[in-house]
Structure 1
């Protein structure tokens, strides 16, 4: 196995390189919504039911689930999962405090949803507006995006598939090339919160790391120098 690319990545994203990055002004905390787009308000976080769990039991029982029942997720349950994975607790000084950690409070992720079976929502592709705790539907080819994943049947049978993309400048403005390490660490934090929160509502999660980068970024019309898909996860009721 040739490890030259891995070694080069580690060298180019070293802490020393990141430390020498010229600090730039942080970019926006959320992508703008296209003019005329419909905003779908989600149930407010404070209206969501609290879930009392045995933490040790939850950790011991955690598992990856690739097959789901035909039961729909409720809009409240989707709101709960979004709050637990990217919920904005406060906005201050062009930064957000969220329910998950992120390097330097940068929170570079934009959350996209492939909706199949959620009460009150038509199947399609949506973007989560974390600051507003709302959704907006976007015009992309859902079938093309589904086919980008190696576990395509899991995606198609899920109630919803989460897709996290990074607006990398939110990180690189402070950390330079080191940002590419941090973005993958941040993705792990987010997906772990999804695992834990889904378990409290009798839902299962399958993380999705195997996908065609070129095709999925093209399907979303991302300029990969600025924004690219990092990770995904299918979710469905048990």
Structure 2
């Protein structure tokens, strides 16, 4: 069960997290594994926070966050059913996920800023995704 609307229940989005200041978690890049509700530590380099910040047009957004969510899309999950229109639905879903992040952040007394102002190629490369079939669409930084 997911709390984000999805066209045709296709759920094309994946979630990566840059953890910087979260109690109980080591600093690093993680991937959320939905079916098991777990975080997978991707064992990124020690400077992953600087590398990810450099992909963003407002690097301080990432540098100052406690955690940054990065949403990527697996295009086939939408396009097999909706063709090219699936790309439109992917971006709508990114907006839904971002809104949920704002609501959750408000509940725990944190500030949030979402953006798509990043260099796509650099971010995709940093996340080790191909940028065609699987690509970054949105990010949200949280902090106090």
Using the size of structure 2 for normalisation, the TM-score is 0.94
Answering whether residue 20 of structure 2 is matched by residue 116 of structure 1, we say yes
Partner of 2:6: 102
Partner of 2:68: 161
| In 2: Cα distance, 1:211 partner to 1:225 partner | 16
Structure 2 residue corresponding to 1:191, chosen from 98, 108, 113: 98
Partner of 1:179: 86
Task: Tell me the matched-pair count.
Answer: 141
Segments of structure 1 that go 5 or more residues without pairing to the other structure are 1-88, 90-97
Answering whether residue 134 of structure 2 is matched by residue 227 of structure 1, we say yes
Q: C-alpha root-mean-square deviation of aligned residues, in Å?
A: 1.0
* Maintained 8 Å contact 1:101/1:186: yes
Answering whether residue 125 of structure 2 is matched by residue 206 of structure 1, we say no
Query: 1:80-134 CA deviation, whole Å, 9 max, x = no partner?
Result: xxxxxxxxx2xxxxxxxx1010111000111000000000111100000111111
* Maintained 8 Å contact 1:140/1:220: no
Answering whether residue 132 of structure 2 is matched by residue 132 of structure 1, we say no
Runs of 4+ in structure 1 displaced over 4 angstroms?
Answer: none
Structure 1 residue corresponding to 2:55, chosen from 142, 148, 152: 148
SS of 1:185's equivalent in the other structure is helix
SS of 1:196's equivalent in the other structure is helix
Segments of structure 2 that go 5 or more residues without pairing to the other structure are none
Report the alpha carbon displacement of residue 138 of structure 1 after superposing the two structures with TM.
0.8
| In 2: Cα distance, 1:99 partner to 1:184 partner | 17
SS of 2:55's equivalent in the other structure is coil
SS of 1:147's equivalent in the other structure is helix
* Higher strand residue share: 2
Q: Which is higher, the Rg of structure 1 or of structure 2?
A: 1
